[in-house]
Amino acid sequence: MNTKSSKSIILASSSPRRQELVAVLGIPFTVMPSHADETVPQDWNPEKMVTELALRKAQQVYDSLGTKPEAIIVGSDTVVVKDEQILGKPRDEEEAASMISSLQGRDHEVYTGVACIDAETGRTIVRSRATKVTMKPLSRNEVMAYVRSGEGLDKAGAYGIQGLGASLVTRIEGDYFNVVGLPLSLLADMLGELGLQVLD
């Protein structure tokens, strides 16, 4: 039996965007949303935050499994960083408008952490990736029109690059999929290390 081709993915996320990205890999997957605690100390840097939260999400799903299937659990977490300030998901439209206003006309970074746990062996790999994003200058009306679209209300930094938010961004340096919420090339490398080859 070819163990490489028989492994599947368990995605520890309820994010439709991450589900769409994992589907691109052509590997069977199931979704098991994580219920991990996401509170972290204020003094953690972005890389530590996203790697720890990605690991917590994957670990919580791993711990909840009765029998250990032939699968790799994937957890992920994304934050937007401006001037060393971490921007999570906005609480409401007012905070979303404040976030977009602070990002417009300048650069910021997007960090995503990825954790993979082999459900059979418990072997764990955790990594992160950063991408620089430049948002164009926006008028107050443009900011509010985007906020009212509702697209960014469930996203770190209050925008989504893969939707209407693409009209806000003029440049990225790095992995586009990292900004969407799951760096696929990094994930493919990690899966390969755990015996699941994406290009096999």
Q: What's the angle, vertex CA 143, arms to CA 140 and CA 146, rounded to 5?
A: 145
H-only helix segments in the chain: 3-6, 16-24, 46-64, 93-103, 140-149, 176-180, 184-193
Please compute, for residue 47, the number of CA atoms within 13 A of its CA located in the half-sphere on the CB side. 6
Whether 77 is catalytic is yes
Report the C-alpha gap between 163 and 47 in whole angstroms: 25
| Residue where the block lists tokens 């490398």 | 189
Could you say which of 37, 43, 63, 77 is catalytic?
A: 77
Letter for the amino acid at 118? Answer: D
Report the C-alpha gap between 48 and 43 in whole angstroms: 10
Single out the residue of 101, 74, 105, 72 nearest to residue 159, CA to CA: 101
Letter for the amino acid at 68? Answer: K
Tokens matching residue 119: 């459900």
For the annotated catalytic residues, the residue numbers are 77
